[in-house]
Amino acid sequence: MAHFLFKYPWALYRKGEFAFLSGWPVGLLLLVLAGTAATLALWLSRARPRFPGGTRRWRLLVLGAVQWSVLGLLIFLAWKPGLYVSTLKPGQNIIAVLVDDSQSMAIEDAGSRRIDRARALLENGLLGALAANYQTRLYRVGTGLEPVDRPAELQAQQPATRLSDALKAIAQEASRLPIGAVVLLSDGADTAGGVDRETISMLRSLRLPVHTVGFGDDRFRQDVELMEVEVPARALPHSKLPVRVGFRQHGFDGQTARLVIRAGGQILASESVRLAGTEQQFRTLVVDAGPAGPRQLEVSLEPLGAERNARNNALVRLVQVEDRKARLLYMEGEPRWEYKFIRRALEEDAGLELVSIVRTTQNKIYRQGISQPDELKEGFPQRVQELFEFDGLILGSIEASYFTAGQIELIREFVDRRGGGLLFLAGRAGLGDGGWGTSSLGELLPVVLPAKKPTFHRERAAVRLTSEGADHVITRLAPTGAANRDVWQRLPKLADYQEVGEPKPGAVVLTELLDPQGKALPLLVIQRYGHGRVAVLATGGTWRWQMQQPSDDRSHEVFWQQLARWLVTGALRRVSLNLPGLVLFDETSVEIRAQVRDSNYLPASLAEVKARVAGPDGSEKWVELRPLAEEPGVWTARCEVPHPGLYVVEIQASVNGEAIGQDVAGLLRQDGVLEHFRTEQNRHLLEQLAKETGGRYFRLNEAAQIPEEIAYSEAGIAVREFKELWDVPALLLLIVGLKAGEWYLRRRWGVV
């Protein structure tokens, strides 16, 4: 019926380009229409007295409008309107039919497997209907694009869905074959991050429309899915690792699920989480990084009954636990208890090497933890190479004026360029009372120190966690969030505190103290500066946490070890290996990047850099890295990772044959994992793909319209036609209808 009324299919109206065939100017049409309207209005106003009395003005206006519509329509048709459209020449074009053959298409929803429904669509009509006017080519989409002979060959066994790669391949074919259109049957669950702009541009430049048919439910009724797992890429041995887990649910609102983190089959941490809402929820669990080497963390939400897809409940992440000891320098201006107990806490940490200097008298220093008798003999380092040996620096109760201008600048460079961590402690000669606020290092501080003095008070102060501190690795003293809050509530009061002013924008307050008046003041404040990190601890009295609690309580030690590890973790290495991710999903190659710095931690200009890649099968190969001209100090190479499994990548850098450093990281290739995540139909992606390429998105029950839609395309071998609209039955019926309406109104209102 619609086809009869409008003469052409809807697709033509969507694709066609409107034009007038008469060649008369459009401006003239508008002028004539306006003139007609004005003449009609003038005539009506003059003729009004001749109409029966009481004829209301608005009724005349309605009748005038109807008359003008009829006249206008006739004038419009006199201009010979029509649509220009490109139509594929029957028998000369190829239609590429792409079928998503990945594992997610094996999911059963709507009573059958997605792939079965796709096959049924092809076998029961679509291929036949297309074959009537075109050649058809059937392709399988998975890790790439592969032609198949029959729909029966589609088995939904491909480990990944890379739509971009498949569409690029078809675009390349379209440049040498008359491909008139692409039909894509898919659930849209792309595992490579979606269709990129480059692919869209290629398709648009070829004017190749991609028509998409969506399979699968938009949303599962009952499912819990891990959405993301964030873990630091590197860690020191046995340090605390924060694992931030994002998940969402449908159909289990209010129920409880168990979140578990395992390594090597052993449970490292677990927490019960209450599922709520359909928005993404987050939990942070803290686990022990374990010994040096690559460490696989398996994060899972234990499946609930009746879940549609239980394979999206677990993910693996890889952490490179570095086989090194971080070096920390602690400069203290006076013997004090905090110094002793910090040393004791950090000495227990096998991943840290603490070197400390304390001023015992006005002219004497006492060094501890030194490896050579002459190390730091003259006190605080004065040369770059001396200070840059360390990864972190603690400044205790010591005045800024104790340091020379050169040393102050060195400290700034240590944080900014070296990427070292710097911690300021409170004390009678620390922070504001030590003149640090007015020193040139004031800008490093995460707080604006108050100008008044004294700010250091030997008064007891209670502590409390802030919301930011509840899940932070520094302040996590117990495995779960609730237990951590309990530990902090039980901590004894600090021996002293210092006013440190307001936190700067971008700084994060992890803990607060309550002064004797009950006023909350920042206690531990952190922020980034340059490549490094800066923290302020507004007390020199955490030693009471050790002396006022049972000797087997570990709160004080754990706090200080975590704070020290946070300080040193971000420190740059002279040679550092950067991989795009420690877990590769379905990738067959990886880009290895190495950053090489000279002894001053400036980008190196000359070096030989090579990488040793050990595969899961015991194979080993060397790859030469080449410097990047646009990024000083960066060397890069692409390396094949042909098999799934754990690879170990080690880079070595040397200058004139002399080794200057090396770095190592694990790399895990996993195939077929992402196919089980985000497995609902990604309708948005399919709709966007169709829209941006001039195609159309179809639901499965609309797929019969595809052959008709496909006919209009500018790709392949097409002819451009003009389809006239003057004889469209719907327009003629409209004119008749308007006149009939006018007649009816005149009769009803008595206007004759």
Partner 1 sequence: MCRGWRLAAGLLWIFAICAWPQGRGRFWMLEDNPAPIPPDANEKTEFVFARLRYPTFAAGYWGWRGAWATDYPKADRQFLQGVRRLTRIHVRSMEEVVDLDSDAIYDWPWIYAVEVGHWDLTDEQCKRLREYLLRGGFLMTDDFHGTYEWDVFLASMKRVFPDRPIVDIPDDDPIFHVLYDLDERFQVPGIQYFYSGRPYERDGVVPRWRAIYDDRGRIMVAICHNMDLGDAWEWADLPQYPERWASLAYRIGINYIIYAMTH
Which residues contact partner 1 by CB under 8 A?
333-337, 339-341, 343-344, 347, 358-362, 364, 366, 368, 428, 458-459, 495, 543-544, 546-551
Cβ 744 vs Cβ 736: under 8 Å: no
**Is residue 436 within 8 Å of 396, Cβ to Cβ?**
no
∠ CA 692-13-77 to the nearest 5 degrees? 145
SS3 462: strand
Beta bridge partners of 213: 185, 698
Nearer to partner 1, 333 or 661 (CB): 333
**Considering beta carbons, is residue 268 or 358 the nearer one to partner 1?**
358
Closer CB to partner 1, residue 495 or residue 500? Answer: 495
Please name the residues in contact with 666: beta carbons below 8 A apart, sequence gap of 6 or more.
Answer: 293, 294, 318, 320, 582, 646, 647, 648, 649
Name the nearest CA neighbour of 238 among 287, 284, 271: 287
Distances (CA, A) of 462 to 57, 427, 497, 557, 562: 84, 17, 10, 18, 20
Could you give the maximum distance between any two Cα atoms of the chain, in Å?
Answer: 121
Least distance in angstroms from the C-beta of 334 to partner 1: 4
In terms of CB distance, is 458 or 684 closer to partner 1?
A: 458
State the nearest-atom distance from the C-beta of 355 to partner 1, in Å: 13
Tell me the β-bridge partners of 380: none
201 vs 368, beta carbon nearer partner 1: 368
For the bound state, the minimum distance from the C-beta of residue 336 to partner 1, rounded and expressed in Å, comes to 5
Is 229 in contact with 283 (CB distance < 8 Å)?
no
Closest to partner 1 by CB, 16 vs 369, is: 369
What is the smallest separation between the CB atom of 417 and partner 1, expressed in angstroms? 32
Minimum separation from the CB atom of position 637 to partner 1 (A):
47
Cα gap 442→538, rounded to integer Å: 15
Cβ proximity to partner 1: between 76 and 402 the closer is 402
Tell me the three state secondary structure of residue 70.
helix
In whole angstroms, the minimum distance from the beta carbon of 511 to partner 1 comes to 22
In single-letter form, the type of residue at position 550 comes to P
| Minimum distance from residue 516 beta carbon to partner 1 (Å) | 12
Residue placing its CB nearer to partner 1 in the complex, 460 or 610: 460
Quote the least distance from Cβ 278 to partner 1, whole Å. 51
Question: Between residues 280 and 368, which has the closer beta carbon with respect to partner 1?
Answer: 368
CB of 250 to partner 1, least distance (A): 52
Least distance (Å) from partner 1 to the CB of residue 675? 53
Rounded Cα distance, 432 and 424, in Å: 11
Nearest approach, Cβ of 362 to partner 1 (angstroms)? 7
d(CA 82, CA 433): 85
| Identity of the residue, 308 or 428, whose beta carbon is nearer to partner 1 in the bound complex | 428
132: left (phi over 0), alpha (psi -120 to 50) or beta: alpha
Of 337 and 749, which has the nearer Cβ to partner 1?
A: 337
Cβ-contact 354, 346 below 8 angstroms: yes
Q: Which contacts qualify for 655-663: CB closer than 8 Å, 24 or more apart? A: 655/604, 655/606, 655/607, 655/608, 660/574, 660/575, 660/596, 660/604, 660/607, 661/573, 661/574, 661/575, 661/596, 662/575, 663/573, 663/575, 663/576, 663/577, 663/594
Q: For the chain, percent helix, then strand, then coil, each to nearest 5?
A: 30, 35, 35
For partner 1, the closer of residues 15 and 493 by Cβ is: 493
Neighbours of 331 (CB within 10 A): 25
DSSP state of 126: I
Token pair of 464 as six digits: 């409390």
CB of 523 to partner 1, least distance (A): 19
